[in-house]
Amino acid sequence: MLPTPRLLMLVLLAVPLIAGAAFVPYLAWVAVIYLVVVGGVLVSDVLLSPRPDQIEVERLHESRLSLGTANLVTILVANTSARPLRFVVRDEYPVEMPVDVDLLPGEAGPFGLCELRYHLRPQRRGDYQFGDIVMRYDGVLGCHRRQVRFPTARPVQVYPNLLEARKYDLLIRRGQLRTIGLRSIRQLGQGGEFEHLRNYTTNDEYRRINWKATARRAQPIVAEIEAERSQHVIAVIDAGRLMAAPVADPSHPDDPGLTRLDYVVNTALMLSFVVLGKGDYAGMLTFAGQVENFIAPRKGKAQFHRLLDALYNVQPQLVEADLPAALTYLDQHQQRRALIVIFTDLSNPAAAQPLISHLRRLSRRHLPLCVTISDPNITGVAGHPVQDSQALFRRLVAEQLADERRMILDQIQRSGALTLDVPATALTVSVVNTYLRLKEEARL
Protein backbone atom coordinates (compact mmCIF):
# COMPACT_ATOMS: atom_id res chain seq x y z
CA MET A 1 0.00 0.00 0.00
CA LEU A 2 1.37 3.40 -1.03
CA PRO A 3 0.38 6.90 0.23
CA THR A 4 -1.16 9.32 -2.24
CA PRO A 5 -0.41 13.06 -2.54
CA ARG A 6 -3.80 13.72 -0.93
CA LEU A 7 -2.85 11.74 2.19
CA LEU A 8 0.54 13.45 2.42
CA MET A 9 -1.12 16.85 2.18
CA LEU A 10 -3.56 15.94 4.96
CA VAL A 11 -0.70 14.82 7.17
CA LEU A 12 1.33 17.96 6.45
CA LEU A 13 -1.61 20.11 7.61
CA ALA A 14 -0.84 18.88 11.14
CA VAL A 15 2.63 20.47 11.03
CA PRO A 16 1.40 24.03 11.91
CA LEU A 17 -0.58 22.60 14.83
CA ILE A 18 2.44 20.74 16.16
CA ALA A 19 4.65 23.82 15.73
CA GLY A 20 2.04 26.03 17.47
CA ALA A 21 1.99 23.68 20.47
CA ALA A 22 5.30 25.22 21.55
CA PHE A 23 3.45 28.45 22.24
CA VAL A 24 -0.11 27.17 22.89
CA PRO A 25 0.04 23.76 24.66
CA TYR A 26 -3.54 22.70 23.88
CA LEU A 27 -2.74 22.73 20.13
CA ALA A 28 -0.83 19.47 20.71
CA TRP A 29 -4.12 17.75 21.63
CA VAL A 30 -5.73 19.31 18.56
CA ALA A 31 -2.94 17.91 16.39
CA VAL A 32 -3.35 14.46 17.93
CA ILE A 33 -7.10 14.48 17.37
CA TYR A 34 -6.57 15.69 13.82
CA LEU A 35 -4.10 12.90 13.05
CA VAL A 36 -6.50 10.36 14.56
CA VAL A 37 -9.21 11.65 12.22
CA VAL A 38 -6.82 11.38 9.26
CA GLY A 39 -5.99 7.84 10.33
CA GLY A 40 -9.70 7.05 10.49
CA VAL A 41 -10.14 8.42 6.96
CA LEU A 42 -7.27 6.23 5.77
CA VAL A 43 -8.76 3.13 7.41
CA SER A 44 -12.17 3.95 5.91
CA ASP A 45 -10.53 4.37 2.49
CA VAL A 46 -8.94 0.92 2.80
CA LEU A 47 -12.18 -0.73 3.96
CA LEU A 48 -14.41 0.95 1.36
CA SER A 49 -12.12 0.41 -1.64
CA PRO A 50 -12.23 -2.75 -3.79
CA ARG A 51 -10.00 -5.52 -2.48
CA PRO A 52 -7.51 -7.20 -4.81
CA ASP A 53 -9.55 -10.40 -4.72
CA GLN A 54 -12.51 -8.43 -6.11
CA ILE A 55 -10.59 -7.54 -9.28
CA GLU A 56 -10.19 -9.94 -12.20
CA VAL A 57 -7.77 -9.32 -15.06
CA GLU A 58 -7.41 -11.24 -18.33
CA ARG A 59 -5.16 -10.76 -21.36
CA LEU A 60 -6.54 -11.59 -24.83
CA HIS A 61 -4.54 -11.89 -28.04
CA GLU A 62 -4.00 -14.20 -30.97
CA SER A 63 -2.38 -17.49 -30.07
CA ARG A 64 0.20 -16.75 -32.79
CA LEU A 65 1.47 -13.21 -33.19
CA SER A 66 2.30 -12.01 -36.70
CA LEU A 67 5.74 -10.73 -37.59
CA GLY A 68 6.27 -7.11 -38.59
CA THR A 69 2.71 -5.92 -38.10
CA ALA A 70 0.62 -4.41 -35.30
CA ASN A 71 -0.89 -7.23 -33.20
CA LEU A 72 -3.81 -6.26 -30.99
CA VAL A 73 -3.59 -7.14 -27.29
CA THR A 74 -6.71 -6.62 -25.17
CA ILE A 75 -6.75 -6.50 -21.37
CA LEU A 76 -10.09 -7.02 -19.63
CA VAL A 77 -10.50 -5.68 -16.09
CA ALA A 78 -13.60 -6.84 -14.19
CA ASN A 79 -14.62 -5.04 -10.98
CA THR A 80 -16.78 -7.35 -8.85
CA SER A 81 -17.15 -4.84 -5.98
CA ALA A 82 -19.85 -2.25 -5.34
CA ARG A 83 -17.33 0.63 -5.53
CA PRO A 84 -15.83 2.33 -8.62
CA LEU A 85 -12.30 1.39 -9.62
CA ARG A 86 -9.79 3.83 -11.15
CA PHE A 87 -6.49 2.28 -12.11
CA VAL A 88 -3.41 2.18 -14.32
CA VAL A 89 -2.27 -1.10 -15.84
CA ARG A 90 1.14 -2.09 -17.15
CA ASP A 91 1.48 -5.35 -19.02
CA GLU A 92 4.79 -7.20 -18.88
CA TYR A 93 4.96 -7.84 -22.61
CA PRO A 94 8.10 -9.34 -24.24
CA VAL A 95 10.76 -6.65 -24.02
CA GLU A 96 11.95 -7.41 -27.56
CA MET A 97 8.71 -6.10 -29.03
CA PRO A 98 7.95 -2.36 -29.32
CA VAL A 99 4.48 -1.22 -28.26
CA ASP A 100 2.40 1.87 -28.97
CA VAL A 101 1.22 2.38 -25.35
CA ASP A 102 3.12 1.41 -22.22
CA LEU A 103 0.77 2.49 -19.39
CA LEU A 104 -2.97 1.93 -19.77
CA PRO A 105 -5.27 4.04 -17.54
CA GLY A 106 -8.85 2.93 -17.11
CA GLU A 107 -11.97 3.01 -14.98
CA ALA A 108 -14.47 0.27 -14.13
CA GLY A 109 -17.76 1.10 -12.44
CA PRO A 110 -19.38 -0.99 -9.71
CA PHE A 111 -19.70 -4.55 -11.03
CA GLY A 112 -18.38 -3.16 -14.31
CA LEU A 113 -15.96 -4.21 -17.03
CA CYS A 114 -13.20 -2.14 -18.64
CA GLU A 115 -11.47 -3.04 -21.90
CA LEU A 116 -7.95 -1.75 -22.60
CA ARG A 117 -6.03 -2.17 -25.85
CA TYR A 118 -2.50 -1.79 -27.11
CA HIS A 119 -0.50 -3.13 -30.07
CA LEU A 120 2.69 -5.14 -30.26
CA ARG A 121 4.92 -5.11 -33.35
CA PRO A 122 7.23 -8.15 -33.24
CA GLN A 123 10.48 -7.75 -35.15
CA ARG A 124 11.73 -11.33 -34.98
CA ARG A 125 10.12 -14.73 -35.24
CA GLY A 126 10.43 -17.32 -32.48
CA ASP A 127 9.33 -18.10 -28.92
CA TYR A 128 8.67 -15.34 -26.40
CA GLN A 129 7.14 -14.93 -22.94
CA PHE A 130 4.46 -12.63 -21.53
CA GLY A 131 4.86 -11.78 -17.86
CA ASP A 132 2.31 -10.75 -15.24
CA ILE A 133 -0.04 -7.77 -15.38
CA VAL A 134 0.64 -5.10 -12.76
CA MET A 135 -2.12 -2.72 -11.62
CA ARG A 136 -2.09 0.35 -9.44
CA TYR A 137 -5.41 1.75 -8.23
CA ASP A 138 -6.44 4.49 -5.80
CA GLY A 139 -8.88 4.12 -2.95
CA VAL A 140 -12.35 5.60 -3.27
CA LEU A 141 -11.36 8.45 -0.91
CA GLY A 142 -8.02 8.94 -2.68
CA CYS A 143 -5.86 8.43 0.43
CA HIS A 144 -3.98 5.27 -0.51
CA ARG A 145 -2.80 3.46 -3.60
CA ARG A 146 -2.41 -0.27 -4.02
CA GLN A 147 -0.19 -2.19 -6.40
CA VAL A 148 -1.37 -5.65 -7.35
CA ARG A 149 0.30 -8.25 -9.54
CA PHE A 150 -1.95 -10.64 -11.42
CA PRO A 151 -0.36 -13.95 -12.50
CA THR A 152 -0.92 -13.97 -16.26
CA ALA A 153 2.49 -15.17 -17.48
CA ARG A 154 2.30 -17.35 -20.57
CA PRO A 155 4.44 -18.20 -23.61
CA VAL A 156 3.66 -16.81 -27.06
CA GLN A 157 5.02 -17.55 -30.51
CA VAL A 158 5.72 -15.06 -33.29
CA TYR A 159 4.92 -16.49 -36.70
CA PRO A 160 5.22 -15.07 -40.21
CA ASN A 161 2.56 -12.53 -41.08
CA LEU A 162 -0.73 -14.42 -40.69
CA LEU A 163 -2.77 -11.22 -40.83
CA GLU A 164 -1.93 -10.78 -44.52
CA ALA A 165 -3.24 -14.27 -45.27
CA ARG A 166 -6.49 -13.50 -43.48
CA LYS A 167 -6.74 -10.17 -45.29
CA TYR A 168 -6.26 -11.96 -48.63
CA ASP A 169 -8.94 -14.50 -47.75
CA LEU A 170 -11.37 -11.71 -46.87
CA LEU A 171 -10.64 -9.69 -50.00
CA ILE A 172 -10.98 -12.68 -52.31
CA ARG A 173 -14.43 -13.33 -50.84
CA ARG A 174 -15.38 -9.73 -51.60
CA GLY A 175 -13.71 -9.67 -55.01
CA GLN A 176 -11.43 -6.79 -53.96
CA LEU A 177 -7.95 -8.21 -54.57
CA ARG A 178 -6.95 -5.24 -56.71
CA THR A 179 -7.08 -3.00 -53.64
CA ILE A 180 -3.81 -4.59 -52.44
CA GLY A 181 -2.30 -4.86 -55.90
CA LEU A 182 -3.02 -8.56 -56.57
CA ARG A 183 -4.27 -9.93 -59.85
CA SER A 184 -7.66 -11.60 -60.09
CA ILE A 185 -7.64 -14.40 -62.67
CA ARG A 186 -10.22 -16.87 -63.85
CA GLN A 187 -7.70 -19.72 -64.18
CA LEU A 188 -8.60 -20.56 -67.76
CA GLY A 189 -5.90 -22.55 -69.49
CA GLN A 190 -5.04 -25.22 -71.98
CA GLY A 191 -5.93 -28.29 -69.99
CA GLY A 192 -8.01 -29.39 -67.05
CA GLU A 193 -11.72 -29.54 -66.31
CA PHE A 194 -14.60 -28.20 -68.41
CA GLU A 195 -15.67 -24.66 -67.50
CA HIS A 196 -18.36 -23.45 -69.99
CA LEU A 197 -19.24 -22.96 -73.68
CA ARG A 198 -18.97 -19.67 -75.56
CA ASN A 199 -18.96 -18.34 -79.11
CA TYR A 200 -15.83 -18.81 -81.22
CA THR A 201 -13.50 -15.84 -81.78
CA THR A 202 -10.67 -15.41 -84.28
CA ASN A 203 -8.07 -15.79 -81.52
CA ASP A 204 -9.26 -19.27 -80.47
CA GLU A 205 -7.48 -22.44 -81.54
CA TYR A 206 -9.37 -24.84 -83.81
CA ARG A 207 -8.79 -27.76 -81.45
CA ARG A 208 -10.87 -26.02 -78.79
CA ILE A 209 -14.00 -26.06 -80.95
CA ASN A 210 -16.78 -28.22 -79.51
CA TRP A 211 -18.20 -29.78 -82.67
CA LYS A 212 -21.34 -31.21 -81.07
CA ALA A 213 -22.33 -27.81 -79.67
CA THR A 214 -21.41 -26.21 -83.00
CA ALA A 215 -23.75 -28.57 -84.83
CA ARG A 216 -26.63 -27.88 -82.44
CA ARG A 217 -26.30 -24.07 -82.62
CA ALA A 218 -25.24 -23.82 -86.25
CA GLN A 219 -22.30 -21.57 -85.35
CA PRO A 220 -18.77 -22.22 -84.05
CA ILE A 221 -18.72 -22.89 -80.29
CA VAL A 222 -15.60 -23.39 -78.16
CA ALA A 223 -15.27 -25.11 -74.79
CA GLU A 224 -13.57 -23.06 -72.10
CA ILE A 225 -11.40 -25.22 -69.90
CA GLU A 226 -10.53 -24.46 -66.28
CA ALA A 227 -6.82 -24.53 -65.65
CA GLU A 228 -5.54 -27.72 -64.09
CA ARG A 229 -5.49 -27.54 -60.30
CA SER A 230 -2.64 -29.93 -59.59
CA GLN A 231 0.48 -27.87 -60.28
CA HIS A 232 3.34 -28.06 -57.79
CA VAL A 233 4.89 -24.90 -56.34
CA ILE A 234 7.96 -25.12 -54.08
CA ALA A 235 9.48 -22.20 -52.18
CA VAL A 236 13.26 -22.56 -51.79
CA ILE A 237 14.46 -20.27 -48.99
CA ASP A 238 18.05 -19.18 -48.50
CA ALA A 239 18.80 -18.84 -44.76
CA GLY A 240 22.49 -18.00 -45.13
CA ARG A 241 24.41 -15.03 -43.79
CA LEU A 242 23.41 -12.62 -46.58
CA MET A 243 19.75 -13.00 -45.63
CA ALA A 244 20.42 -11.75 -42.08
CA ALA A 245 20.86 -8.15 -43.27
CA PRO A 246 18.07 -5.83 -42.04
CA VAL A 247 15.96 -3.91 -44.55
CA ALA A 248 14.81 -0.49 -43.40
CA ASP A 249 11.04 -0.02 -43.58
CA PRO A 250 10.13 3.53 -44.76
CA SER A 251 6.90 3.40 -42.74
CA HIS A 252 8.87 2.77 -39.51
CA PRO A 253 12.14 4.76 -39.82
CA ASP A 254 12.93 4.50 -36.09
CA ASP A 255 13.45 0.74 -35.96
CA PRO A 256 16.08 -1.35 -37.77
CA GLY A 257 13.43 -3.16 -39.80
CA LEU A 258 12.90 -6.80 -40.63
CA THR A 259 15.68 -8.88 -42.09
CA ARG A 260 15.70 -10.09 -45.68
CA LEU A 261 14.85 -13.55 -44.39
CA ASP A 262 11.82 -12.19 -42.50
CA TYR A 263 10.43 -10.65 -45.70
CA VAL A 264 11.11 -13.87 -47.59
CA VAL A 265 9.39 -16.05 -44.99
CA ASN A 266 6.33 -13.78 -44.99
CA THR A 267 6.21 -13.93 -48.79
CA ALA A 268 6.71 -17.70 -48.94
CA LEU A 269 3.89 -18.23 -46.46
CA MET A 270 1.54 -15.93 -48.37
CA LEU A 271 2.46 -17.62 -51.66
CA SER A 272 1.70 -21.02 -50.15
CA PHE A 273 -1.65 -19.75 -48.88
CA VAL A 274 -2.61 -18.52 -52.36
CA VAL A 275 -1.31 -21.68 -54.05
CA LEU A 276 -3.31 -23.95 -51.76
CA GLY A 277 -6.36 -21.74 -52.23
CA LYS A 278 -6.10 -22.27 -56.00
CA GLY A 279 -6.15 -26.03 -55.52
CA ASP A 280 -2.44 -26.51 -56.27
CA TYR A 281 0.26 -28.28 -54.28
CA ALA A 282 2.62 -26.22 -52.09
CA GLY A 283 5.98 -27.29 -50.72
CA MET A 284 9.06 -25.77 -49.14
CA LEU A 285 12.82 -26.22 -48.80
CA THR A 286 15.09 -24.23 -46.47
CA PHE A 287 18.87 -24.33 -46.58
CA ALA A 288 22.03 -22.59 -45.44
CA GLY A 289 25.31 -24.51 -45.43
CA GLN A 290 23.20 -27.59 -46.15
CA VAL A 291 19.54 -28.48 -46.64
CA GLU A 292 17.78 -27.86 -43.33
CA ASN A 293 14.19 -28.87 -44.06
CA PHE A 294 12.18 -30.14 -47.00
CA ILE A 295 8.40 -30.49 -47.09
CA ALA A 296 7.11 -32.25 -50.17
CA PRO A 297 4.27 -30.50 -52.06
CA ARG A 298 0.78 -31.34 -50.86
CA LYS A 299 -2.59 -29.63 -50.88
CA GLY A 300 -5.17 -28.73 -48.23
CA LYS A 301 -5.32 -26.75 -45.00
CA ALA A 302 -3.21 -29.28 -43.14
CA GLN A 303 -0.33 -28.53 -45.51
CA PHE A 304 -0.58 -24.80 -44.77
CA HIS A 305 -0.26 -25.43 -41.03
CA ARG A 306 2.60 -27.83 -41.73
CA LEU A 307 4.44 -25.11 -43.64
CA LEU A 308 3.60 -22.54 -40.99
CA ASP A 309 5.08 -24.65 -38.19
CA ALA A 310 8.22 -25.19 -40.25
CA LEU A 311 8.69 -21.52 -41.13
CA TYR A 312 7.87 -19.68 -37.92
CA ASN A 313 11.29 -20.20 -36.32
CA VAL A 314 13.62 -20.29 -39.33
CA GLN A 315 16.59 -18.11 -38.39
CA PRO A 316 19.53 -16.92 -40.54
CA GLN A 317 22.80 -18.74 -40.03
CA LEU A 318 26.19 -17.05 -40.26
CA VAL A 319 27.47 -19.39 -42.98
CA GLU A 320 27.72 -19.14 -46.74
CA ALA A 321 24.58 -20.57 -48.34
CA ASP A 322 25.14 -23.58 -50.60
CA LEU A 323 22.43 -22.98 -53.20
CA PRO A 324 23.80 -25.47 -55.79
CA ALA A 325 23.60 -28.27 -53.20
CA ALA A 326 20.02 -27.28 -52.36
CA LEU A 327 18.98 -27.30 -56.02
CA THR A 328 20.65 -30.68 -56.55
CA TYR A 329 18.77 -32.09 -53.56
CA LEU A 330 15.49 -30.68 -54.86
CA ASP A 331 16.04 -32.03 -58.37
CA GLN A 332 16.58 -35.50 -56.90
CA HIS A 333 13.48 -35.43 -54.65
CA GLN A 334 11.01 -33.59 -56.91
CA GLN A 335 10.38 -35.62 -60.04
CA ARG A 336 7.22 -33.90 -61.21
CA ARG A 337 7.44 -30.54 -63.00
CA ALA A 338 7.05 -27.67 -60.55
CA LEU A 339 7.40 -23.93 -60.21
CA ILE A 340 10.56 -23.54 -58.10
CA VAL A 341 10.55 -20.12 -56.42
CA ILE A 342 14.11 -19.52 -55.21
CA PHE A 343 14.49 -16.75 -52.63
CA THR A 344 18.16 -15.79 -52.37
CA ASP A 345 20.62 -12.91 -52.64
CA LEU A 346 23.10 -12.35 -55.46
CA SER A 347 26.36 -11.08 -54.01
CA ASN A 348 28.77 -11.04 -56.97
CA PRO A 349 29.11 -12.50 -60.49
CA ALA A 350 31.70 -15.12 -59.47
CA ALA A 351 29.46 -16.57 -56.74
CA ALA A 352 26.48 -16.63 -59.13
CA GLN A 353 28.14 -18.85 -61.76
CA PRO A 354 27.49 -22.18 -59.95
CA LEU A 355 23.88 -21.11 -59.46
CA ILE A 356 23.47 -20.36 -63.17
CA SER A 357 24.80 -23.77 -64.21
CA HIS A 358 22.45 -25.56 -61.80
CA LEU A 359 19.50 -23.46 -62.95
CA ARG A 360 20.25 -24.48 -66.54
CA ARG A 361 19.93 -28.15 -65.59
CA LEU A 362 16.92 -27.52 -63.35
CA SER A 363 15.01 -25.70 -66.10
CA ARG A 364 14.97 -28.82 -68.27
CA ARG A 365 12.30 -30.32 -66.03
CA HIS A 366 11.00 -27.48 -63.85
CA LEU A 367 10.22 -23.76 -64.15
CA PRO A 368 12.68 -21.90 -61.86
CA LEU A 369 11.91 -18.39 -60.63
CA CYS A 370 14.83 -16.62 -58.95
CA VAL A 371 13.57 -13.92 -56.55
CA THR A 372 15.91 -11.33 -55.05
CA ILE A 373 15.38 -8.24 -52.89
CA SER A 374 16.77 -5.07 -54.42
CA ASP A 375 19.03 -2.98 -52.19
CA PRO A 376 17.47 0.44 -51.49
CA ASN A 377 20.94 1.84 -50.72
CA ILE A 378 21.92 1.13 -54.34
CA THR A 379 18.70 1.97 -56.16
CA GLY A 380 18.30 5.14 -54.11
CA VAL A 381 21.72 6.50 -55.12
CA ALA A 382 22.20 5.26 -58.70
CA GLY A 383 21.02 7.77 -61.28
CA HIS A 384 20.37 10.61 -58.83
CA PRO A 385 21.92 14.06 -59.34
CA VAL A 386 25.07 14.80 -57.33
CA GLN A 387 26.17 17.94 -55.52
CA ASP A 388 29.82 17.20 -54.64
CA SER A 389 32.66 14.79 -55.35
CA GLN A 390 31.73 12.47 -52.48
CA ALA A 391 28.18 12.10 -53.78
CA LEU A 392 29.59 11.45 -57.26
CA PHE A 393 31.79 8.67 -55.90
CA ARG A 394 28.81 7.05 -54.13
CA ARG A 395 26.75 7.26 -57.31
CA LEU A 396 29.49 5.65 -59.43
CA VAL A 397 29.85 2.77 -56.97
CA ALA A 398 26.08 2.30 -56.81
CA GLU A 399 25.77 2.25 -60.59
CA GLN A 400 28.61 -0.26 -60.87
CA LEU A 401 26.90 -2.57 -58.35
CA ALA A 402 23.56 -2.13 -60.14
CA ASP A 403 25.19 -3.04 -63.49
CA GLU A 404 26.72 -6.19 -61.96
CA ARG A 405 23.34 -7.18 -60.56
CA ARG A 406 21.62 -6.67 -63.93
CA MET A 407 24.33 -8.74 -65.63
CA ILE A 408 23.76 -11.61 -63.19
CA LEU A 409 19.98 -11.46 -63.69
CA ASP A 410 20.46 -11.47 -67.48
CA GLN A 411 22.65 -14.57 -67.25
CA ILE A 412 20.03 -16.29 -65.08
CA GLN A 413 17.33 -15.52 -67.65
CA ARG A 414 19.49 -16.90 -70.45
CA SER A 415 19.85 -20.12 -68.46
CA GLY A 416 16.10 -20.71 -68.79
CA ALA A 417 14.96 -19.35 -65.42
CA LEU A 418 12.71 -16.40 -64.65
CA THR A 419 13.91 -13.54 -62.44
CA LEU A 420 12.25 -11.08 -60.12
CA ASP A 421 14.20 -8.28 -58.40
CA VAL A 422 11.93 -6.02 -56.33
CA PRO A 423 12.05 -3.97 -53.10
CA ALA A 424 11.26 -5.80 -49.89
CA THR A 425 7.98 -3.92 -49.38
CA ALA A 426 6.72 -5.11 -52.81
CA LEU A 427 8.03 -8.65 -52.52
CA THR A 428 4.82 -10.45 -51.55
CA VAL A 429 2.58 -8.79 -54.13
CA SER A 430 5.14 -9.26 -56.92
CA VAL A 431 5.74 -12.95 -56.21
CA VAL A 432 2.05 -13.81 -55.86
CA ASN A 433 1.18 -11.89 -59.04
CA THR A 434 3.95 -13.72 -60.91
CA TYR A 435 2.53 -17.08 -59.82
CA LEU A 436 -0.99 -16.03 -60.86
CA ARG A 437 0.27 -14.81 -64.23
CA LEU A 438 2.18 -18.03 -64.91
CA LYS A 439 -0.88 -20.04 -63.94
CA GLU A 440 -3.09 -17.94 -66.20
CA GLU A 441 -0.67 -18.48 -69.10
CA ALA A 442 -0.60 -22.24 -68.39
CA ARG A 443 3.20 -22.25 -68.05
CA LEU A 444 3.31 -24.37 -64.88
Neighbours of 216 (CB within 10 A): 10
- Distance CA(100)–CA(121), nearest Å, equals 9
pLDDT for res 173 = 53
E strand segments, 316-417? 338-343, 367-373
pLDDT for res 277 = 86
pLDDT for res 191 = 46
- Distance CA(5)–CA(13), nearest Å, equals 12
111: left (phi over 0), alpha (psi -120 to 50) or beta: left
pLDDT for res 225 = 60
Neighbours of 230 (CB within 10 A): 13
> HSE on the CB side for 443, CA within 13 Å?
15
Q: Greatest CA span in the chain, whole angstroms?
A: 124
Any idea what DSSP says for residue 230?
Answer: -
pLDDT for res 178 = 57
List per-residue pLDDT tens for the chain, 444 residues long: 788 888 888 888 888 888 888 888 888 888 888 889 988 988 888 888 899 999 999 999 998 898 888 899 999 999 999 999 999 999 999 998 999 999 999 999 999 999 999 999 998 888 999 999 999 998 888 888 899 999 999 999 998 887 777 666 655 555 555 555 555 554 444 444 555 677 877 766 667 788 888 888 888 887 766 555 678 999 999 999 889 888 865 555 545 578 899 999 999 998 998 899 888 999 999 999 899 999 999 998 899 999 988 888 888 998 888 888 999 999 899 989 999 999 998 776 777 778 888 888 888 889 999 999 887 766 666 666 777 777 777 777 777 777 778 888 888 888 889 999 988 888 888 898 899 888 877 777
Neighbours of 390 (CB within 10 A): 9
Q: Which residues touch 105 (CB under 8 Å, ≥6 apart)?
A: 86, 87, 88, 89
Beta strands 367-373 and 418-422 are parallel
Tell me the C-alpha to C-alpha distance, in Å, between residue 299 and each of 118, 267, 290: 37, 18, 26
pLDDT for res 187 = 45
**The dihedral formed by the CA atoms of 420, 426, 429 and 431, expressed in degrees to the nearest 10:** 20
> HSE on the CB side for 422, CA within 13 Å?
19
